Structure 1
Amino acid sequence: MSLRVFILAGEPSGDRLGGALMAGLKQLEPGIQFDGIGDALMAEQGLVSRFPMEELSVMGLAEVLPKYRHLKRRIRETADAVLETRPDVLITIDSPDFSLRVARLVKAHSSIRTVHYVAPSVWAWRPKRAEKMAEVIDHVLALLPFEPPYMEAAGMDCDFVGHPVVAERQATEAEIDAFRSDFGLGDAPYVLALPGSRRSEVSRLAPEFGQALMQFSVKHPDYRIVVPAAAPVAGLVQEALLDWPKGTVMIDPNRYKPDRAKSFKRAAFASASLALAASGTVSLELAAARTPMVIAYKFQWLTWQIMKRMALIDTVTLVNLVSDSRVVPECLGPDCTPANIAGRLAALAVNAGDQLEAMELTMQRLGQGVDEPGLRAARAVLGRLPGN
C-alpha cells in the first residue's frame, strides 16, 4: 500500500520547501500520495491544494484580526481533513500560527505522526517555544546545523537537513556580462544595497542607507550603487532613491518577466564588490554569492528595548552564527547611523578576506556539496517513520 502524506504550507517560502521535499519523497518512495495545502511549486509535484494557500499568508500579521474567524475555520477544516484521511504522516511547514494549531487539533484526536519543517529560533529568543511545540510535534526538520540539540532537549526527534540557500542557482558569467551591459555598469565596482522587502523596513532604512552611501561615495567615487528592489516595495524604493548618490541603478523586477528578473538579481549579487543589507536571511544569499557585507537594521524604540532584554545571542547575522565567527559587521538599533555604516563599508572595501573564509565555511556547514536539502529532508522523514 502506498505511503500517504498530508502536507501543508502557508507562505511562499514554505511552498518552496514543500516542493523540494515532495520531489525528494517521490524519488525515494514511488507511488506516494499527497494531500494538503500548498501553492505552485507543490502543485508541480502533484498536490491538489484543498484551498488557495494565499488565504493563510496573513497569519501572524496585523491583518489577521479581520480574517480571524475565516482562518480559524480553515484551521478546523484542515485538521478535520487530516483526521478523516488518516495519513501515515502530517508534515507542516513553517507558518507556526497555522501549522501548530492544526497539529494540536490532530494530536488531540489521533496518534498520527507529526513532522514540522523549520525549527523555531529558540536559540535566539523565547526558548520555551520548543517545549510547547513538543506537545504536538514528533519530529523536526532543521535548516541550521546547531538546532537539533535544542529540539531534542524538548523531547522531539530532529534532523538537520540543510538550508535551501545551498541549492539555489548562482549566476553564470554570461548572466553577469549581460547584467553589467544592460545596466551600463561596465567594469565598475559597486555596492549592492538591500534596504528590505517590507514597506516598514524600507521606510526606516532607505534614508539611513542613502546617507551612508553618500558618505562612502565621497571617498570612493569609483563605486556605483545597485539596488535590486523587492517587487512589493519597488515604488517606495524608487522614491527613496531621489536622495541617494547620483547614478544609483535600481532593478525593478516588476518591469521584467520573472525569469529575467531572477537572472538580473542573481547577477547583481554575484558581481557586487560589497553589500549593505537589512538584517535577515538575505545574509545567506550574499554568502552563497560570496559577496562581503555589512548588515544594518533600525528598529522601533520599543522593539529594540524588548530585543535587548530577551535576546540570547550577540549577533543577528546567520553567517556569524553558522561560521561561529563575528566577521560580518552589524549596525543595529542606535548604531544604525550613516557614519557607522559608511565606516564599516570603507573598512570592508580594504579587507574582506575574513568574511570570504566565513562565507565558505557557512555554506559548507549548511550542506553545500552534498545531497540537496529536499532529498535529505525526505530521507529524514521516511527514516523516522514507525517500522523503518
Structure 2
Amino acid sequence: MKIFLVAGEPSGDRLGAALMAGLRVLRPDVEFAGVAGPLMQAAGMASLFPMEELSVMGIAEVLPRYFHLKRRIREVAEAVVASDAVALVTIDSPDFGLRVAALVKAMKPAVRTIHYVAPSVWAWRPGRAAKMARHVDHVLALLPFEPPYMQAAGMSCDFVGHPVVAEALASEEERAVWAGTGPLLLALPGSRRGEVSRLMPVLGEVVGLLATRYPGLRVALPTVPGVAGLVREMAAGWPVTPTIVEEAGAKRGAFAAADVAVAASGTVSLELAANGCPMVIAYDMHPLTLWLMRRAALIDTVTLVNLVSETRVVPEFIGERCRADLIAPAVEALLADPSPQEGAMSLVMERLGKGGTPPGLRAAQSVLSVL
C-alpha cells in the first residue's frame, strides 16, 4: 500500500514523520512518496523537491512566487495521479496542499484525500470548510473543538491529539547545561524567513531593554536549518550575545530551563506550555496581509494556549504593537510572577491528549479507517 504525503513546513514535517511511524506500526507494508522535510526524509521518504520552497505565509509574501508555486501544485498532483497511491495526505500548508487535493480529485477521484491539521475556520474564513469538502474526504484535527466544524461541512473528521503531548522533554542532563545565575530568556523568531526578518530586530531591542534591568540576562535562540544562517546574521549585533541552538537536545534543555519566552505566534506556544515556560507572543507581517487578516478575524486572540485553555493569560503584541517598549514590560511581569499562566498551560496539555495514545498512532488509525 502506497500513501502520498505532502508537507510544506517544519511543523508539517514533524507531523508527517510521526504519521509515517504510526502507519508502519499498523501496516508494515506501507510505502511513501511525496514532498518531505528532513524528518520525513530521515524516516526513509524521498522528496520531489525541497520542502522549504513551500514555507511561505501571507498574501503579500506569496505573490512574487505565485507562478512557481502554481507549477509545483500541478507537478505534485500529476505525481500523485501517476503513482499507485491509494491516498493523498496533505499536511498543514492548506494554501498549497488543498489545491493539490483539488487537482487530484478532478483527475483521479478514486484517490482518498485526507488533510492533516484542520484549517482554523473557527478563527477566520469559515467558508473554507465548505470549499474543502468538495475535494477532501477526511480531516485529522489537532484541537479537540475542531471536528464539528469539519463534519458540518460534509467531511469526516477525527481529533487525533496534538503532537506536542508526545514530544520528548529534556533530560536532567540537557536541562543542566543551561544552569546559571541570571534569568534565561528564550527568543523564538519563527521558522519562516519572512517572520524571522521582521521579528529579529524587535527581539534584539527587547534583549537590550531587559539587559539594563537584569545584568546577568542570558539569551537562548533556537532555530531551524532553513533560517539558521539568517538568524545568526541578524543576531550578530544584539546587546547580549545569544546562544544559538540547532541541536535537538540543546533545544529541549533550553525550553525546559528558560524562565520566560518571547515567541512568534504559532504552535511554539504549545511547546512552551508543555515545558511550563511562561510566554509573551510577538508577531508582525506585511501590512497588507495583517489588514486583510484582521478584517476576516472571528476571534480576539491568535495564541493557541489562550484558545485551548479558554483564557487570555498570554499577552500578545501583534502588528503595530509588536514593539520592544511594550513587550519588555510584559516579560518583566512574568519574570516577577509567572503563576497566572501555570494553570492554563497544564489545562492545555490535558485537553490536547497528554497521557493518551500518541498522536502519530492515532492519526495512523484514523487514516486507515477511511481507506
TM interval, short-chain normalised: 0.7 to 0.9
SS in 2 for 1:137: coil
Determine the structure 2 residue equivalent to 1:258.
none
2:211 is matched with: 217
What secondary structure, in the 3-state scheme, does the structure 2 residue paired with 1:369 have?
coil
Give the corresponding residue for 2:351. Answer: 365
Is the Cα–Cα contact under 8 Å of residues 319 and 362 in structure 1 kept in the other structure? Answer: yes
2:81 corresponds in structure 1 to: 80
Which residue does 1:99 correspond to in 2?
Answer: 97
2:290 aligned counterpart, secondary structure: helix
Q: CA RMSD in A?
A: 2.7
Distance 1:45 1:340, change over 3 A: closer
Q: 1:187 to 1:379 in 2, by over 3 A?
A: same
Contact map agreement 1:234 1:252 (CA 8 A) in 2:
no
Aligned to 1:207: 201
**Number of residues paired by the alignment?**
365
Change (3 A) 1:163 1:377: same
Specify the alignment match of 1:321 in structure 2.
307
Q: Which runs of 5+ in 2 are unaligned?
A: none
Task: Report the AA paired with residue 338 of structure 1.
Answer: A
C-alpha change, 1:373 and 1:66, in structure 2 (3 Å) is same
Q: CA deviation at 1:355?
A: 0.9
Q: Secondary structure at the match of 2:220?
A: strand
* TM-score (norm: length of structure 2): 0.87
Answer yes or no: is 1:311 the counterpart of 2:293.
no
Q: Do 1:79 and 1:103's aligned partners in 2 also have CA atoms closer than 8 Å?
A: no
Relative to 1, partners in 2 of residues 1:238 and 1:64: Cα closer, same or farther, differing over 3 Å?
Answer: closer
Distance 1:93 1:339, change over 3 A: closer
The runs of 5 or more residues in structure 1 that have no matched partner are 254-260
Q: Aligned partners of 1:127 and 1:312: how far apart in 2?
A: 9
Quick check: 1:9 aligned with 2:6?
A: yes
Q: Deviations over 1:69-105 (max 9, x none)?
A: 74254134224225xx3x5433332333443333323
Encode CA deviations 1:208-232: one digit per residue, 9 max, x unaligned: 2222333233333343233234444
State percent identity of aligned pairs: 53
2: distance between equivalents of 1:331 and 1:111? 46
Is the contact made by 2:7 and 2:16 (CA closer than 8 Å) also made in structure 1?
Answer: no
- The answer to whether the 8 Å contact 1:278/1:297 transfers is yes
**Considering only CA atoms, is the larger Rg found in Structure 1 or Structure 2?**
1
Alignment of 1:14-163 (within 5 A): 14-38=12-36, 41-42=39-40, 47=45, 51-52=48-49, 54=51, 57=54, 61-62=62-63, 64-65=65-66, 67=68, 70-82=71-83, 85=84, 87-108=85-106, 109-163=108-162
2:221 to 205, 218, 227: 227
Q: Deviations over 1:306-325 (max 9, x none)?
A: 22211111011111111111
Taking a change above 3 Å as real, the CA distance of residues 67 and 22 of structure 1, as seen in their structure-2 partners, is same
Amino acid at match of 1:117: Y
Residues 149-200 of structure 1: per-residue CA shift (max 9 Å, x gap)? 11111110000101112222211111122x33xxxx6343211122333343
Q: Would you say the 8 A contact 1:147–1:160 is kept in 2?
A: yes
Cα distance in 2, alignment partners of residues 340 and 331 from structure 1: 8
Q: TM-score, normalised by structure 1?
A: 0.84
CA distance in 2, matches of 1:29, 1:145: 26
Separation in 1, partners of 2:56, 2:230: 24
Over 3 Å counting, the alpha-carbon distance change for 1:251 and 1:364 in structure 2 is: same
**Partner SS, residue 262 of structure 2:** strand
Distance 1:175 1:27, change over 3 A: same
In the superposition, relative to structure 1, how do residues 298 and 151 fare at CA in structure 2: closer, same or farther (>3 Å)? same
